[in-house]
Amino acid sequence: MATTELEQLASSSSLHRFAAGTVIMDYSAKVPDDIWMLWSGRVALLGSGDGTPIDTIEPGGIFGYVPLLTGGSADFLARAAEPSLLIRLPGALVAAQFAQPAGLAFLASSAWKTVSGSRTPMAPAVGSRPVGELVSRAAVFVTPETSVRDAVVRMTEESVSYVLIRLPQGEFGIFTDRDLRTKVVGAGLPVEAPISLVMSAPARRVTADLTAETVLMEMLEWGLRHMPVLSRRGEVLGVLEDADLLAASARQGFVLRCSIAAATDAAQLQRAAREITGTVVDLFRNGTEASATSGILSVVIDSVVRKGLELALAEIDDAPELTPSSDLGAVAGGGFAWLTLGSIARREAMPSSDVDSALSWSDELSSASGQLRAVAARVHAILDACGLPADSNGAIAAKPKFSRSRSQWAKAAEAWLDDPLQGRGLVLTSLLIDGRVVWGAESLHAIPAAFRRMRADHPHALRLQLLDALSGRVRTRSLRDVISRRGGTFDLKNHALAPIVNLARWGGLMAGMTSASTPMRLAAAASAGAVRERDAAVLTEVFTMLQRMRMVHQIEQLSAGHSPGDIITMSELSPLNRSLLNDALREIAAVQRRIGNTGAATT
């Protein structure tokens, strides 16, 4: 701020005294046109509904900052806890600072918007729009008997790079320009051949209500450039290409996945994996949203895990003397599933994320458990050399607690449901519920089936999940001392994001949903009536903002040549970021309080 601007702000500010107990501002009833700074005394921030204490403002602290900038109300009021002297800063002059280039750039990069209050919402980014809104034309169909030549002529006439093929029982296949290159020209197949010989069937598809960002992740994971979009009644509305989804970032991830898939040994995989960090930095700096960057990073890590597993299995084939041959064929031939756990499973990975994993195998492979754990240990050794370290707490597939037969997992799940306090059941439940199969048969993951009816069949266990989720409350010290820079540092992951993730996991279980992203779980919880829609929206907005702040911090660390982490130094945050974090923590605490008051009744 220039000296003249600072002098103008000072001359336009005013001092106000408030007696103890006086309400300074009720933010639930009024959108503010100024902000307040406490000069002396103490101000309590209280829930506007029940008056429950949320935070205490000490001298030097400010409040009302974000509601002013966003034009939205907030669910708290400010009351003088003792005789207090405050400085009233005029909103017009404060807001003017964000009309400057630096201020606009910062606000444009901030992913958080207060959802409280009634204001005209900003137009959603493409990534958050339902894909049904992006379909611009009807799908192009041909019959199974159509020749490749005629199909390509039809593609040319319609100016599309695909055709869909109608099949019995409402199914359909897909043929794309890539199929023409690889399955026809590359394979020397005559163009008179029927399209049914070279189509992919049944075609993967998505429903129109999914967001563009979610569909991009699906396309990236499966290496697809086209995605049919269906209505809820199963009608094909059209076909989206990755370009329709603004997927330059996904293409960059696709290229990296191709180089990972092409690796023939651990050394080549390590060289390909070295590009991950640079790709993440480039994606984010080139405008990819933090949530999309995290999703792409998660999918790329999955690719490294799959390739590492393939290489480890190939090493067994190349060195049969390592283990008894009677079990080797079964191990290398499949019959087991590799699960990714934690933030990568939720597609919320960060550059600092380590790799949590689990194994589940068919009961017929139980005699090969030792070999399977040896394979898992080798996989993690490969991943570690790729810069993807194993979970520091030992949640990896090489450990007996995280590698079992399907029936053993099913038995363990029933035990955790019957008595979550035995054998670290709550902790293991949280890890395995997040689990996502990245190699092998989905049916080998027994946990989801056991927990989908948790609300109806095991309400006591679900109540303990809620109590565990609420145990990580945002502390008053975090709000008052840390944010006021007396605490020095703050752990974004453990003290801000983890409470949201844990509440979302409980909310997902209330809705019968197991593995999913945090925003998807919150949406499901709201639909099931487990949380208020407004609370789910607030937590989703705060989660998005915190993930972006976390990504910015870690990208800066990587650019400076440091290892990425989640500990931020409060004095290094800009005033706006400190205010955003302050308000975010207040919102989390307020939602925790409301869910704590009502959650027992809903479980």
SS3 350: coil
Cβ atoms 253, 296 nearer than 8 A? yes
DSSP 464-515: HHHHHHHTSPPPHHIIIIITTTSS-EEEHIIIIIHHHHHHHHHHHHHTT--S
Q: Which residue from 582, 566, 557 is spatially nearest to 476, judged by alpha carbons?
A: 582
**Dihedral sign computed on CA atoms, order 127, 129, 133, 138:** positive
Cβ atoms 350, 564 nearer than 8 A? yes
Contacts of 7 (CB under 8 A, 6+ apart): none
**Dihedral sign computed on CA atoms, order 348, 383, 335, 206:** positive
Q: What span, in angstroms and rounded, lies between the C-alpha atoms of 483 and 315? A: 52
Average of per-residue pLDDT values in the chain: 81
Give the distance between the most distant pair of CA atoms in the chain.
89
pTM of the entire structure?
A: 0.68
Q: Which residues of the chain have pLDDT under 70?
A: 1-3, 31, 48-50, 52-55, 65-75, 94-129, 213, 242-255, 317-334, 473-487, 599-603
Alpha-carbon dihedral of residues 113, 116, 118, 121, nearest 10 degrees? Answer: 20
Model confidence pLDDT, tens digit, residues 129-172: 688 888 888 999 999 999 998 998 898 888 888 999 999 888 89
Q: What is the pLDDT of residue 134?
A: 82
Structure tokens at 90: 């005029």
Q: What is the pLDDT of residue 316?
A: 75
> How far does CA 522 lie from the centroid of its chain?
12
Cis amide linkage into residue 202, ω under 30° from 0: yes
Query: Which amino acid would we find at residue 377?
Result: A
* Alpha helices by DSSP H, 404-486: 406-418, 425-433, 447-451, 454-457, 459-470, 476-477
> How far does CA 423 lie from the centroid of its chain?
29
Q: What span, in angstroms and rounded, lies between the C-alpha atoms of 431 and 425? A: 10
Contacts of 480 (CB under 8 A, 6+ apart): 55, 56, 57, 58, 61
Q: What is the pLDDT of residue 293?
A: 86
Cβ atoms 585, 539 nearer than 8 A? no
Cβ atoms 432, 440 nearer than 8 A? no
Given the DSSP bridges, would you call strands 162-166 and 141-142 parallel, antiparallel or unpaired? parallel
Q: What span, in angstroms and rounded, lies between the C-alpha atoms of 11 and 13? A: 6
> How far does CA 247 lie from the centroid of its chain?
18
Phi, psi (degrees; rounded to nearest 5) at 392? -70, -20
For the chain, how far is it from start to end, CA to CA, in angstroms? 52
The order of strands in the sheet holding 403-405 is 403-405, 357-361, 336-340, 436-439
SS3 22: coil
Cβ atoms 88, 36 nearer than 8 A? yes
Neighbours of 109 (CB within 10 A): 11
Q: What is the pLDDT of residue 406?
A: 94
Q: What is the pLDDT of residue 2?
A: 58
| CATH 3.10.580.10 matches 133-245 | yes
* Fold topology of 9-109: Jelly Rolls (2.60.120)
Q: What span, in angstroms and rounded, lies between the C-alpha atoms of 555 and 279? A: 11
Model confidence pLDDT, tens digit, residues 339-384: 999 999 999 999 999 999 999 999 988 888 899 999 999 999 999 9
Q: What is the pLDDT of residue 389?
A: 94
Name the strand (E) or helix (H) holding 599.
helix 575-602
Q: What is the pLDDT of residue 283?
A: 80
Structure tokens at 396: 């990896």
